[in-house]
Structures are given as C-alpha cells and as structure tokens.
Chains A and B, each alone.
Chain A
C-alpha cells in the first residue's frame, strides 16, 4: 500500500497528493497492517494532521472508525465467549453441588448404619457385663436445603434465548458501502452503538451469572462446613466402635 511516488511530499498541492495517494477507504481487500503503516508514516513525519489533505484525513478517519468498530465487535465476541464459559462453569458448579448433597446424604446413611452397628456391639460382651453405649457429641444432620434460585436458571441454551428475544443475534455485516464518507462514518457509529448496546446487555447477563456463581459457591461452602462436622462426628463414633470391637476381641 506504499505510495506510487516514492518522493511524496505532504506539502504538494491536493491534486498531486491525490495522484500519489490512491487509497480507497472502501476497499475491503487491503491489508490492515499495510494501511496502518501507510497512515502512520504519512501523518507523523509531516507534522501531524494539520498538513494532510482532506482526502487523506477522510481516509484516516475511515480507517480509525473501522478499527474501532472491529475492536468493539471483538469485545462483544470475547464477552460472548466468556458467557459461554460462564454457562459451563455454572453447570459444573451445579453438578458439584449435587455431588456434595449426595455425599451429605451418604453421611446420614452412614450414621443410620453405624447406629445399628453400635446397638449390636452394645449387646455383645457377655451376660453379666454392662450394656455399652457409645458417646455422641452431636447429631448428624442431612443436607441443608436453602431457598433461592438454582444456578441452573441462568443456563438457557442460546436458541431459546433468541426465541425469547434475550439474545438478539448479530446482524451480518452489510457489504454495500455508502458513497459519502460522512454517511459511511454514520453507519460505523451506528454499528459501534449497536455493538455497545449488545455488550452492555451481555455484561448485565454476565453480572447475573457471576452473582449466581457466588451464591452457588457460598451455598456449597456452607454445606461443606456441615459435611466436615458430620465427618468429624462419624470419625469419632467409628473410632469408639473400633475400640469396643478391640475390647470384645481381647476378652
């Protein structure tokens, strides 16, 4: 994309500059890096924007607006990827929550079986020996069911979202470009505005998902605390039962 005339002078008259600088702002095939190099090399040495021709400045403005549009749309794409990952994380957290609940339920079953074992161990030990009763420091509680929305509620598949109008799919980029640079700029700004609105909506959704994640993690942490207490209690009681069994074996 280098100028045709290698001895291009920014102080030449506009016609000359236009001849030497044949950049079409509406060319889609141009290599971005070359374009950028062309703009930066043409703007910096010549003393900034003041000494550029109108056409050059327009081209530069078009290039910048295109770059901005690309950047904003890139942000939107990143946000969508994050949303996708967040959905997966929420599903995973939900599954882990279920696992913790199942584990908690298992501790209750263990308690039930252990109580039966303790009764049997208590009855053993001879006719005249005292009935053995295990010490219990606390009762074992089942999984805590908390009120509140399940994190699953946020994980709706994208097609459903589009049907509900929650996730308007991005419109395909229009290839037909207006003739006037001003009109083109306006379409670029409209695109940027639209992308920013979508981004804002996505960020709102991400915030809700993040809050849900926090709630799920907190709930699981609380349940893990209960589970730890249950594990401690079961440990203590199994130890006692082991001591009783050892005593019975020694007799």
Chain B
C-alpha cells in the first residue's frame, strides 16, 4: 500500500474547516466541502461517498466533522480507523475549548502535520489495523448473535412458564380424573355386586319355591 492511499483530510466545526492537510492538488477539497454542507450535523454517525475512484469518508460527532479522502482501493475500515485516531487526537489537544473558538483553517499549522503523521502511521500499519478491525467485527458479530439468543431464551423462558402453569392445571385435572375414576369404579363395583346379589337371591327364591312345590312343604320325606 503506497503513501498515496490518503489524499486529503480535514477537521471541521459545523461547516467551517478548522484544519486540513494534503500533499496533492486537485478538486477534492471543494467536493469534500460540498459533501460537508450536505451532512446532517445533528446525528453522530459515519458517512461514505464514492466519487471518481475515491471515497469521501466522514465521521460526525458532537458537532465536529472529520473527513478523509482516500483511493477506493483502500478499505473503508482503514479510513474510519484513521478518522477515529484523528478524532481522539483532536479532542485530546483541543477539547478544552480552543476548537470551539477557532476560526477557519486556523489550526492548519498545528494540526496539519499531526494528520500527516496519522496518515503515515495508518498506511504503515494497515495490515495490523485490518487484523484488529476484523477481530473487533467478529466480537461485535458474536455479541449481536448472543444478544439475539438472550432475547430468544427470554421468550423460551416465558413459554416454559406458561407451559408450567398449563401442565400444573393438567396435573390437578388428572388427579381429579383419577379420583373420580376410582369413585366410578367403586360405584360400578357396588352396582355389579348388588345385581349379583339380587340375581343370587332370585335364584335362591326360585330354588326354594321349586322345593316347596315339589315337597309340599318343608318336610320332603316320602
């Protein structure tokens, strides 16, 4: 990766550029300035615009915009890593209030070389940075999957609670069923016994009647 990967960089407060740095000549500062005008300043976010094999990367935070123009062969993550470094350094140097009162391009002399340093550092350590970015991305991916899993597990927990209530209800119903089944069985057993006894009684009565009619009384001796 050559030294020409980063073309131009600036830091702006709102739409006012406070510091910029470039080693090249071209119309990219004006295009970047146009993009800056269109940026929604209220939100803290990252934007990337593509134009003529170049990417215009913006990082907007707390009313300050950090921009870098890079060749589109350079990955977006590397550009964002550069902007994050510039942002951290800028806040560290001018966080006390100097940046809020600075006029247009007044920090060029001070902060321009710093941006150059960061550009060189990022280009020299692109491989390591990409590796770190990859690991970070993997971590956030695993984290997001696990957060989804937590939501799913909570839903599952709720389902289990509902199921527990339903099975508890079923258990009490089943116990009632068992109790009533036993009672029905007992009742039917008594009914059955009653019928058997009645039939037995009738049979005994018939035998007795036959006995009496045959023997003309209880004395049955010829």
Contact = CB atoms under 8 A, between A and B. Distances in A.
B196 interface: no
Nearest to A245: B180
Max chain A Cβ within 10 angstroms of own Cβ: one of B132, B145, B155: B145
Contact of A234 (B156, B159, B170): B170
Interface residues of B, number: 35
B210 interface: no
Size band of the interface chain A makes with B: 35 or more
Contacts of A193: 128, 131
Interface stretch (B6-14, B28-36, B104-112, B161-169): B161-169
B180 A218 contact: no
Nearest 7 CB-CB pairings of A with B? A245-B180, A203-B138, A210-B145, A231-B166, A224-B159, A238-B173, A217-B152
B180 A210 contact: no
Nearest to B155: A221
Most chain A CB inside 10 Å of its own CB: which residue of B134, B149, B163, B187: B149
A204 B180 contact: no
Contact of B138 (A117, A204, A227): A204
Interface of B: 128, 131-132, 134-135, 138-139, 141-142, 145-146, 148-149, 152-153, 155-156, 159-160, 162-163, 166-167, 169-170, 173-174, 176-177, 180-181, 183-184, 187-188
A238 B181 CA distance: 11
Given A238-B174, A248-B184, 7 more contacts: A193-B131, A200-B131, A207-B145, A228-B166, A245-B180, A245-B181, A249-B187
A115 interface: no
A214 B162 contact: no
A235 B149 contact: no
